[in-house]
Structure 1
Amino acid sequence: MIRSLRARLRLRHALLAPAVALVLLLLFLEAANPPAWAVRVGYLAAGVTVLAALLVPRYRFARAATAAVLVSGAVTLVAGGLQDRAENTFGATELLLLLCLGVRVVRQLRPGRATALMAAVAATVVLMPLRLQDWGDGRIEILLLALVLLMPLVVVLGLCLRLYDALRARQREAVLQAQRIEYARDLHDFVAHHVTAIVARTRAARYTAESQSPEAIDRMLAEIEEAGSQALGSMRAMVSHLRDSATPAGPGPGELSALRELTDEFSAGGVPATLHIGAGLGPREVSAETAGVAHRVVREALTNARKYATGARHVGVAVDRAADSRDWLVVEVTDDGVAGDAPSAGSGGFGLMGLTERVAGAGGTLTSGPRERGGWRVRAELPLRSRER
């Protein structure tokens, strides 16, 4: 992302340099038209000042634009008071720059300052034909009227661009808000998954402390320490992923093979978990988005099984193609415990609630509920290939 931004900046600078050079050349040529040397210097100084105001960053723009309008207006007053004035041009390039300046004033400045400065820009633009020698046939008056009629168009264009910027900012904020929600869900998944394992192992150590040997207690404490280290490692991995989206080494959440780590970690807590992945479900057949959602479904289901599946003796994780469609993936997590307090997708459990939204965003469906033979089941149906956006 940073490299692409730098490339765009270099391209912008490469295109800006020739354009600025061309404008400076036109300003120099127009400055040679007035007969008086002082007015020539004024033409050039006014044009360069307006050009510089257009190029300054936003936080300096108000002062630069004010200075440019004052310089341009002063040159108009001086040139209009002379007997020998320009015969061919009053500074068309400077006029175009002032119009662009007016658009930027309306677009970027606060309403109060924009109104005052835009009025100054309009007055400066309308009075510019006074720099010309009077032709005596009414053409200067027509030019003045045309400039008066042109200024509302400049204001309208600036307002349109201002509205466009506001819409873009609102859209960018919506994207950032969606990213914050996504990160919050990931944090919930990491924290709930690992902290639940730590709590379960700590309870087991407390309840069996009196009947266990020091070696067994030390082994339990070592398992708790390992679970805490895994939680820290997962958090560091997530932060590293947010800083740099480069592909991580080894299988990640974008591949179904990463589910093995979840079931092995769950089994280490005391309740065995088995994993079945159907044949022919490699990265070519299953998109990274679908595999990532499947990873989150399994992680949330295992976390809930550890928290709510009282007396569970086995947890099964099955990932395979749907029986009625080869284009769909079925992820099913079942346990044989007592799940009287298990949350449902719509009953206020933030994990399953967010997971339901995530699965729906990938084009699939998520269902959860008690099994007929006892226990709990979480089932997600996902398209093998991510849907077109």
Structure 2
Amino acid sequence: MNHFFGDRPRLRQAVRCLVAGLLLTGLVLEGLDTGSVPLAAAWVASGGLALAALAVPRHRFTPAALAAVTASCLVTLVNTQLAQRAEVTYGFLETCALLLLIARALWQRPLLPASLVAAGATAATTVIFLRLSAEQWSTVADFVLPATWFGALLMVALGLYLRLLDTLRAREHEAGLQEQRLEYARELHDFVAHHVTAIIAQTKAVRFASAAGNAPEPAELDRMLAGIEQAGSQAMDSMRSMVSVLRDPVRPAATRPAGDLGGLRELAAGFSAAGPAATLTLDPRLADRGLPPGIGTTVLHVVREALTNVRKHAHGATGVTIDVRLHEDGTERRLRVAVTDDGRGRPAPGERRVTTDRDAHGQTVRDGRRPGFGLMGLAERAEALGGRLTAGRVAGGGWTVGADLPLPPASAEARTDEPLRP
């Protein structure tokens, strides 16, 4: 009964009590129509079990439903042996409750126990008319029995329909969770891997210098160690930010506005402090207008991943350029991002360029390496926004990673975006 009434608002409890009282009154009145106290008690008991089975918790439904079906069949069997039978009623409320048991069983229970309950309830509603006298039975059989079978078919269809809806909802929920896991994986890669790569690159530089017998000067060594410390601190901050979001989705960690490109300056400065100088060129027209959240976030991810790949693969790079420009052609507006280095990375023979276009057949290879999960994730982000990601060699040496992303009309952008911070 605790499950039935539960911890609900008083109005809902009052409605449930009223419904339960009306159903119990109906069972008693049906029992009184039998003209016999023992029959009335049996009517109320079997009908009450069927109604109670509809209200029990899900994990207790199967035994409760089977008990109600068994009780109904036993009452019918005993009634057939009596000389005096009911002449007015056969148990209409009990029949309705048994039909509803079919729908709930097929909706909420595994197929095997649901089939047992459905078959038992169908049999119980078929033989329940035997409680009537022979004269009444012949009259009812031609009209009420077909209607009961039709009701059973409707309950089967209803139960299977509700079961299908639950299955579709569960799949949609699981797909949402999977998409969320993939998004967290991308965020973890984009934010943390960037800093960890910086730590590895600077540590290797110290080791190689020491192994070659050219120990760095104290000031130079201190600068390298400070860079490693800074990258480690940034990696920890990124991890704490993500953990805070996972722990408390109601109060997520403080982040920049979704369309803010101010983080590009921080990325360029952080990269320059530990490696080749990074030069940022930001279109001045982007300073006084907002960007859609998806576009701004994707730009930051593209630049971060490209800088991470420079550390990993751009051997001998002396400089990196980051170019973010707005291109307007009539009503069409596109944002183009390019990160270019002058390193000595070599693509595999025959694989000069890769795009995310549908007709692309090759994969980008630099120093014999295929693209990692970062570039593939960025390609998916760009495609989802209607853009494309490119990566390939630059004439004269070097490597470039670029993104071409469409922007919505200025009116739509103004309604949904926040202004950029200078």
TM-score normalised over the length of structure 1: 0.83
How far apart are 1:52 and its partner, in Å?
A: 3.4
Partner of 1:278: 283
Q: Distance in 2 between matches of 1:137 and 1:202?
A: 93
The Cα offsets for residues 281-316 of structure 1, whole Å up to 9 and x where unpaired, read as 479631111111112111111111221222222222
How far apart are 1:254 and its partner, in Å?
A: 4.9
Q: Structure 1 residues 100, 216: CA separation in 2 closer, same or farther (over 3 Å shift)?
A: same
Partner of 1:352: 375
1:132-143 equivalent positions in 2, closer than 5 A: 132=132, 136=136, 138-142=138-142, 143=144
For structure 1, the 5+ residue unaligned runs are: 1-8
Partner of 1:202: 203
Q: Distance in 2 between matches of 1:158 and 1:283?
A: 58
Q: What amino acid does structure 2 have at the position aligned with 1:22?
A: V
Partner of 1:374: 397
Q: Does the 8 Å CA contact 1:27/1:93 hold for their aligned counterparts? A: no
Q: Does the 8 Å CA contact 1:76/1:131 hold for their aligned counterparts? A: yes
Q: Distance in 2 between matches of 1:15 and 1:280?
A: 59
Q: What amino acid does structure 1 have at the position aligned with 2:310?
A: A
2:243 to 230, 236, 239: 239
Q: Does the 8 Å CA contact 1:311/1:337 hold for their aligned counterparts? A: yes
Partner of 1:259: 264
1:365 to 383, 388, 391: 388
Q: Distance in 2 between matches of 1:99 and 1:12?
A: 29
SS in 2 for 1:331: strand
2:338 to 319, 332, 338: 332
SS in 1 for 2:275: coil
1:81-96 equivalent positions in 2, closer than 5 A: 88-96=88-96
Q: Distance in 2 between matches of 1:24 and 1:227?
A: 70
SS in 2 for 1:256: coil
1:30 to 20, 27, 31: 27
2:289 is aligned with 1:290: no
Partner of 2:52: 52
Q: Distance in 1 between matches of 2:299 and 2:7?
A: 41
More moved, 167-176 vs 257-266: 167-176
How far apart are 1:199 and its partner, in Å?
A: 0.9
Q: Distance in 2 between matches of 1:99 and 1:203?
A: 74
2:67 is aligned with 1:67: yes
Q: Distance in 2 between matches of 1:31 and 1:122?
A: 24
Q: Does the 8 Å CA contact 1:368/1:377 hold for their aligned counterparts? A: yes
Q: Does the 8 Å CA contact 2:324/2:338 hold for their aligned counterparts? A: yes
Q: Distance in 2 between matches of 1:266 and 1:223?
A: 10
The Cα offsets for residues 324-380 of structure 1, whole Å up to 9 and x where unpaired, read as 365322222222222325995634412212211121012211112122243222221
Q: Does the 8 Å CA contact 2:285/2:326 hold for their aligned counterparts? A: no
Q: What amino acid does structure 2 have at the position aligned with 1:337?
A: G
1:18 to 9, 15, 28: 15
Partner of 1:169: 170
Q: What amino acid does structure 1 have at the position aligned with 2:170?
A: A
How far apart are 1:280 and its partner, in Å?
A: 4.9
2:108 is aligned with 1:108: yes
1:227 to 226, 231, 241: 231
Q: Distance in 1 between matches of 2:287 and 2:81?
A: 83
For structure 2, the 5+ residue unaligned runs are: 1-5, 356-362, 365-369, 413-422
TM-score normalised over the length of structure 2: 0.77
Q: Does the 8 Å CA contact 2:322/2:338 hold for their aligned counterparts? A: yes
How far apart are 1:10 and its partner, in Å?
A: 9.2
SS in 2 for 1:268: helix
Q: Distance in 1 between matches of 2:288 and 2:46?
A: 63
How far apart are 1:200 and its partner, in Å?
A: 0.8
